[in-house]
A = this chain, B = another copy of it.
Amino acid sequence: MTNPTDPAINGAESLVHTLLAAGVDTCFSNPGTSEMHFVAALDHIPGMRSVLTLQEGVATGAADGYYRMAGKTACTLLHLGPGLANGLSNLHNAKKAGSGVLNIIGEHAQSHIDLDAPLTSDIEGIARPVSHWVHSSKSVGDLGADAVQAVQAANTAPGQVAALILPSDTAWTEGGIVADPQPAPQRPDFDRSQLRAATTALSGPDSLLLLGGAALTEDNLLLAGRISAATGCALLSEWANARMDRGAGRVTVGRVPYPIDQALKVLAPYKRIVLVGARAPIGFFAYPGKPAVLTADGAEIIHLAHTGSDLAAALVALCDGAGASATPPAHVAKAAVPDKPKGGLTPDNIADLLGRAIPEGAVVVDESVTTGRSFFPATQGAPKHVWLNNCGGSIGYGLPVAIGAAIAAPKAKVMALTGDGSAMYTLQALWTMARENLDVTVVIFANRSYRILRGELTNVGVGNPGPRAIDMLSLDRPNLDWVQMARGMGVEGVAVTDCDGLEAALADGLAMSGPYLIEAVM
């Protein structure tokens, strides 16, 4: 342990120094009384970028997006159990995405907890369901070391959710000790015992290499493309991917569809499936009378590399096994610009307009739900870009993740594509985009309903919903006016109703260097 500063620093100061030394230099915050010493420490210790959010779901989602693009952990600063609770659903999403997030959660002074004050709650209990690592730091002398452990937990591949609970007396007491950073945990090897079986399995069009997680980087996709070319196997990715490199010149892979019947159909041909960073495909939900396991009956499934393991090594080994190290890759996307569509804003028209608009190096945050199901084919020939999905299924992930992505990748254009129902969950994110002048073009697909649920009613066997059921899935009465809401939070915007309007608005938004909102009325 070293202590670069005054030996009389308090716990909060030791925590900030320790985090900075460990490379954690961004904090998405909404503090309260119990976090004031941490705020004070940020005030006089340089180096930590503090980003204020107006609801904690924005903070936790931003940390998720930051990790996906920066490849390192940001922290959040949350006020007691209720502040953590507000951020919980986006931590659920981060956990499912394999994003590293370090939550620093203020707690009452330890002598105060038993008094059961109004804000007292079981913080560990609230944290545990969404966290891989939970710890209350009960001594000022231990806090620095605890923080290092928390960072290590968050940085464990593919990335984990860590909760460091900070009683206010631990923060304000003098005697803080700054702890030295530890080297980032290494990814463990993939399952070499499965390599021979996997190499044998990948042969011909009835075999599938299913990719997920870090297997979807440009370099790893290139390996997958070589394997496919040499073996004839098909390539797919999971329905939701934390981050996928895409665009012209890169090996392109489709996704297992969300709708249950389409997923079953897409996966039906495959008798042998090798998993690299992916899990065996299952239904997003159970539906009466339909299977939950989406792969064909009797399909052989080979678990070569779980998402936290060394996926690059697994793909190199598969490539070598197939003798494909120098084989030109299959499925390389050619540069392509869709024809300009005309008329109203259908999902297919929007897909074509996005394919025409996505700029080089863009980060596309996709929470487009039903509208976005046809975005992939139309955008694969766009300039190189990155695509982020919601891996946890809890809506309200898109706008916050866009904040974190924009802060992690300040030179990139970020495009946040989101359904209106989803965007309403965390619309407070727009204010933080304005405050930080983040380069995010937000497109709201305003179909004015939880459209996905109309299909799901049918899937669960409710064939003929009545007006009361439909009303519970509708966002009209009144219609939301996204342009007014955005202006109220300092973000300019425009509503468009046809292809010409959306193309012009995308051009305007992408030409700006700050946030812009487009309400695409469908």
Instruction: List residues of A whose CB falls within 8 A of some B CB.
Output: 29, 31-34, 36-37, 39-40, 42-44, 50, 52, 54-55, 57, 81-83, 85-86, 88-89, 92-93, 96, 108-109, 111-112, 115-119, 121-122, 125-126, 128-130, 168-169, 172, 240, 279, 282-286, 288, 292-293, 391-394, 396, 421, 424-425, 427-428, 431, 434-435, 452-453, 456-457, 459-462, 465-469, 471-475, 477-490
Question: CB within 8 A of A31: which of B43, B129, B472?
Answer: B472
Given contacts A36-B453, A488-B484, whether A129 and B119 have CB atoms under 8 Å apart is no
**Interface contact A88-B126, CB-CB below 8 Å:** yes
Given contacts A462-B40, A472-B31, whether A111 and B292 have CB atoms under 8 Å apart is yes
Identify the interface centre among A32, A34, A421: most chain B CB within 10 Å of its CB.
A32
Q: Which residue of B lies closest to A468 (CB)?
A: B43
A108 to B286, CA, bound (A): 7
Q: Which residue of B lies closest to A476 (CB)?
A: B435
Going nearest first, the 6 A-B pairs with the smallest beta carbon separation are A478-B490, A82-B394, A485-B488, A484-B488, A109-B286, A85-B88
**Interface contact B118-A96, CB-CB below 8 Å:** yes
**Interface contact B425-A427, CB-CB below 8 Å:** no
Q: How far is the CB of A461 from chain B (nearest CB, A)?
A: 7
**Interface contact B456-A424, CB-CB below 8 Å:** no
Please give the count of copies of this chain that the complex contains: 2
**Interface contact B472-A39, CB-CB below 8 Å:** yes
Chain B hits for A457, CB < 8 A: 36, 39-40
A489 to B108, CA, bound (A): 37
A34 to B457, CA, bound (A): 10
A360 to B116, CA, bound (A): 36
Q: How far is the CB of A487 from chain B (nearest CB, A)?
A: 5
What are 14 A-B contacts with C-beta separation under 8 Å?
A31-B473, A33-B285, A39-B465, A39-B473, A40-B457, A42-B469, A55-B396, A109-B285, A116-B279, A118-B393, A424-B428, A480-B490, A485-B489, A488-B488
A55 to B109, CA, bound (A): 32
Q: Which residue of B lies closest to A428 (CB)?
A: B424
Q: Which residue of B lies closest to A85 (CB)?
A: B88
**Interface contact B119-A52, CB-CB below 8 Å:** no
Chain B hits for A130, CB < 8 A: 85, 121
A86 to B82, CA, bound (A): 10
Q: How far is the CB of A416 from chain B (nearest CB, A)?
A: 18
Chain B hits for A288, CB < 8 A: 169, 172
Given contacts A283-B117, A286-B111, A488-B481, whether A129 and B81 have CB atoms under 8 Å apart is yes
